[in-house]
Copies of this chain bind each other. A is one copy, B any other.
Amino acid sequence: MKQIINDKVDLIQEMTQGIEFASNFKLKKVNQSNILITAKPNPTKVSLISGGGSGHEPSHAGFVGDGMLDGAVCGEVFSSPTPFDVFEAIKSVNNTQGVLLIVKNYSGDIMNFTMACDMANEAGIKTDYIVVDDDIAVKDSLYTQGRRGIAGTVLVHKVLGYLAKQGSSLAELKEFGTKLIKHIKTIGIGLHACTLPTTGKASFEVKDDEIEFGCGIHGEPGVKVEKHVSAKEYAQKMLASLDAELKFDTKKEYILLINGFGRTTLLEQYIFTNAVVSQLSAKKIKIVQVKVGNYMTSLDMSGLSLTVLEVFDKQIMTAITSSVDILGNLF
C-alpha cells in the first residue's frame, strides 16, 4: 500500500508541523515536541488536554481550539506519548484554574497520563484526569483493563470544552465528566484493516465476506467475526448491542455520533445514519442530535462506529450544539 510520507522515523514530527501550518498558527507546537496547544489560551478557565497515539486524526489535535480542548499530545502511531510530553503539555497550558486530562482507556495512556498528572501536582500545578471507556465490545484485553475508550471521547471533549468555557471548576468538570462518560456507549465494525505506515501492510486480515464486530481503533481485530451484511442489518445488530447495554427508553433523549474509521465514505456513513435513525424512530426513541463524519479514525481502516449519549442533563444539548473554532472544521 503506497502512502504519502517521507522518512518513517519523522512521521509524527512532520505531521505536527503540518498541523501547525494547517491551523494557520491558531495551534502551536511546543518546543519541537509533538504537543499542540492553542496559540491564544484563555487564562480564566480550566485547561483541557487530551491525546494518545497518533493515527486517529482529526483526534485529538483537530479538537483543540476555542470552546473545546486547549492542548493535544500526539504519540507515535498507536503508541502513547511519554509522561514527560504530557507533563510538558500540562505546563504549557497551565494557569491558576488547573488542568484536566481526558484519557482514553488504554493501559499505556493510563500509565503515562496519570504519571504526568502526579508530576504536575508535585510541581504545584492543580491537575486531574478522567478516563473514557465507552466501547461496549470488550471488557479487558491485551491493551486495556476494563473497556476501551473510542469515538465517544470526542463528545466528552465537546461537552467539557463548553462547560470549561462557561467557568466550571476543575472539580466540577471531573464530576460532570465522570457522570457523562457513564452515559456514553459505542460499538464499532471493521470491514478492512488499516495500513500501518511503519510497515505499509494491513494490520489484520478479514475474509471477503466477513467483518470484525466490536472493532477497536488501534488496528486490532474485533471481538467476533461475522458475515458481511447490509447497512440496515448492521444498524440492527449494533443497536441491539447498545440496547442490551443502555436500555433505550422512549421517555429519554439521545444524541448519536456516527464515526467513520477512515476509508469508509461519507456516502456509506449517511446511508448507515438513515438506517439507524429510521430504526430508532420506528421504536419511538427520541434522537435530539445526530453527528456524522470522521471524528476518530484508525488510519485508513474501513468501518464505522455508532455512539449513543443519553441526555441526562439539559446542559448537554447546549454544549453539543455550541459553536467552536477548531482545526477539524472544514471552514
Q: Is the CB of B2 within 8 A of A302?
A: yes
In the bound complex, residues from chain B placing their C-beta under 8 Å from that of A291 are: 22, 330-331
In the bound complex, residues from chain B placing their C-beta under 8 Å from that of A16 are: 270
The 0/1 profile, CB within 8 Å of B marked 1, for residues 2-40 of chain A is 111110000100111111011010000000000000000
Q: How far is the CB of A60 from chain B (nearest CB, A)?
A: 12
The yes or no answer to A313 lying at the interface (CB within 8 A) is no
The yes or no answer to A282 lying at the interface (CB within 8 A) is no
In the bound complex, residues from chain B placing their C-beta under 8 Å from that of A15 are: 267, 270-271, 274
What is the interface residue range for chain A against chain B?
35 or more
The 0/1 profile, CB within 8 Å of B marked 1, for residues 41-77 of chain A is 0000000000000110110001100001000000001
Copies in the complex: 2
Q: How far is the CB of A262 from chain B (nearest CB, A)?
A: 6
In the bound complex, residues from chain B placing their C-beta under 8 Å from that of A289 are: 24
Q: Of A141-149, A213-221, A320-328, which binds chain B? A: A320-328
| Residue in A273, A299, A323 whose Cβ sees the most chain B Cβ within 10 Å | A273
Report the separation of the CA atoms of residues A265 and B303 in the bound assembly, to the nearest whole angstrom.
14
Report the separation of the CA atoms of residues A145 and B235 in the bound assembly, to the nearest whole angstrom.
43
Chain B residue nearest to A300 in the complex (CB): B263
The yes or no answer to A295 lying at the interface (CB within 8 A) is yes
Q: Is the CB of A4 within 8 A of B234?
A: yes
Q: Is the CB of B21 within 8 A of A277?
A: yes
Chain B residue nearest to A329 in the complex (CB): B329
Q: How far is the CB of A63 from chain B (nearest CB, A)?
A: 8
